[in-house]
């Protein structure tokens, strides 16, 4: 079955046609996206988003060139959107850190040591995998590097860090800035 007839069926809501279309184009799309992300897991995530978007917009899709070109254009746009989001998140975090540092009193060495010990007690209460990920992050590794070293997806690392932040936020409310600065 060719792509034109598949797209016609997809527009009618045929999920089997969409499944066949997905299986036909998913791997090539991932290979294309790896050229931009340099990370197969990120490429797979983006490719999946492309197909979700394709399905959600199936009623309005007008393909004037080849299907491959259309999908690659969607993929590139999805990549750019993700890139802009990450840059925006990074600049917001940097601004928050700067503002917090302007208002924070400089703790003594003894206070810092006490807070550090308290933080480690909280970290030791986390699940084992979560502890491992937090410790690697505190050593300065990026999520991608942590994922590669532990054989996990970046999404798993992000999820585990989210669990850690929630637990630390609960137990370490007034000194959360110290933890955020330590994670940088």
User: Residue 114's CB: how many other CB atoms inside 10 A?
Assistant: 13
Please give the C-alpha separations between residue 54 and each of 68, 72, 73, 94, 124, in angstroms, as whole numbers.
13, 12, 12, 35, 44
In this predicted structure, what is the pLDDT of residue 137? 87
**pLDDT confidence of residue 26:** 94
* Numbered ranges of CATH 1.10.1740.10 in the chain: 3-83
Domain with CATH 1.10.10.10 in the chain: 104-183
CATH number of 104-183: 1.10.10.10
Fold of 3-83: Rna Polymerase Sigma Factor; Chain: A (1.10.1740)
Q: Tell me, what's the pLDDT at 50?
A: 95
pTM of structure: 0.49
How far apart CA 128 and CA 176 sit, in angstroms, is 21
Give the pLDDT confidence of 54-63 residue by residue, as tens digits.
Answer: 999 999 988 8
Mean model confidence pLDDT for the chain? 84
Above 70 in pLDDT, residue 45? Answer: yes
Predicted local distance difference test score (pLDDT) of residue 78: 92
Read off φ and ψ for residue 89, nearest 5 degrees. -60, -40
Chain centre to alpha carbon of residue 34 = 15
Q: pLDDT tens digits for 118-159? A: 878 888 888 999 989 988 988 888 999 999 999 999 999 999
Q: Which run of H or of E encompasses 157?
A: helix 154-171
**Two structure tokens written together for 154:** 């970046």
* CB atoms near residue 164 (< 10 Å): 21
Structure tokens at 88: 């925006």
Task: Please determine, for residue 177, whether its predicted confidence score (pLDDT) is greater than 60.
Answer: no
| Distance between start and end Cα atoms, the chain | 52
Average pLDDT over residues 12-36: 92
Q: Read off the pLDDT of residues 103-127 as tens digits, 9 standing for 90 and up.
A: 655 567 777 678 778 878 888 888 9
Q: Is the per-residue pLDDT at 161 higher than 60?
A: yes
Q: Is 27's pLDDT higher than 90? A: yes
- Give the C-alpha separation, 102 to 42, whole Å: 36
């Amino acid at each position: 079955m060719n792509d034109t007839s598949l797209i016609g069926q997809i527009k009618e809501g045929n999920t089997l046609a969409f499944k066949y279309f997905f299986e036909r184009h998913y791997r090539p799309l991932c290979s294309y996206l790896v050229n931009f992300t340099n990370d197969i897991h990120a490429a797979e995530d983006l490719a999946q988003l492309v197909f979700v978007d394709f399905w959600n917009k199936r009623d309005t899709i007008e393909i004037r060139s080849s299907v491959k070109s259309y999908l690659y254009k969607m993929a590139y746009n999805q990549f750019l959107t993700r890139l802009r989001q990450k840059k925006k998140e990074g600049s917001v975090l940097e601004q928050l850190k700067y503002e917090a540092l302007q208002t924070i009193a400089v703790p003594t060495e003894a206070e810092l040591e006490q807070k550090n010990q308290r933080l480690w007690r909280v970290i030791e209460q986390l699940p084992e995998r979560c502890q491992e990920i937090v410790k690697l992050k505190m050593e300065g590794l990026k999520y991608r590097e942590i994922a590669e070293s532990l054989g996990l997806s970046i999404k798993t690392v992000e999820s585990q860090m989210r669990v850690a932040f929630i637990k630390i936020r609960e137990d370490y409310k007034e000194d959360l800035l110290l933890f955020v600065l330590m994670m940088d």
